[in-house]
Amino acid sequence: MRFTGQPILISGAGRGLGEGIAKHLASEGAIVGVADIDEASAQAVAAAIRESRGQAHAYGADLGRRQAFFDVAEAFRRDAGPLRAVINNASVLVYEPIEQVTEETLDRMLSAGLKSVFWGVQAFLAHRDENAPGNILNYSSPVAYRGRPNTGAYTTIKAGIAGLTKVLAGELGPRGVRVNAIAPGSVPTPATEGFVTPEQYAERAKQIPLRRNGTPDDVARAAAFLLSAEAAFITGAMLAIDGGIIAAG
């Protein structure tokens, strides 16, 4: 129970990897703030956590909007106390050739996947527990290190997050805040169903050094480690949870 009583806010936690992390952290005692643009899904995840005797609060908001993220963080502080960590998980996933990227798609992806990280950091700093170490965990991706076709917008966002994580580690370290990122590899989730078929996942597994796709639990355990006291001297790190995709090139 490494996170007993610690309020941890997670963006985009209504499904997929965010949901998995929320449930895992709650199982280790955290008070989880489940935030998602789809309030119904956030409520469902929070309800499942409470049914398992965990603690969770649900919030529906478009976290690409600064005021919305601040409102959620303020509400979570009222419900659970000063924040100990924020996990910037929210994103929109679209794979398409560069000539097909529209202004509407790019704006939506930048808002959900990159602007929300800035607002999440700011909201956390405004509502954090100043008497305890703080933690910010961002989501990058192996695509930030490899030139995978048809991922131009997504790669731009994830590469930006990788760079921002390093900047924030240096900027916020003196204030007692650690900032790290994870780079999950090929992990089947509801968010990828429209872009990657089961057959394509099977082919991916053949090319991954560990010869399998990842699971939400793989990601949740790694995230929990970076947030825990066991990683107290780790900041500015990018932890690849990818079965060796980045390393193998």
> What tens digit of pLDDT does each residue of 50-64 get?
999 999 999 999 999
- Tens-digit pLDDT profile for residues 9-46: 999 999 999 999 999 999 999 999 999 999 999 999 99
CA 11 to chain CA mean position, Å: 7
Phi-psi region of 12 (alpha: psi -120 to 50; beta: other; left: phi over 0): left
**3-state secondary structure (DSSP) of residue 10:** strand
- Averaged over 132-156, what is the pLDDT? 94
Residues noted as catalytic: 154
Q: Give, as one character, the DSSP assignment of residue 70.
A: H
Rounded to whole angstroms, the Cα distance separating 181 from 240 reads 9
Q: Please determine, for residue 5, whether its predicted confidence score (pLDDT) is greater than 80.
A: yes
Q: Six-digit token pair at 144?
A: 């930030």
Domains and CATH numbers, the chain: 7-241 (3.40.50.720)
The answer to whether the CB of 24 falls within 8 A of the CB of 224 is yes
The pTM assigned to this predicted structure is 0.95
Q: Locate tokens 């048809």: which residue? A: 150
Task: Give every CB contact of residue 17 below 8 A, 6+ residues apart in sequence.
Answer: 89, 139, 184, 187, 189, 191, 216, 219, 220
Rounded to whole angstroms, the Cα distance separating 8 from 127 reads 11
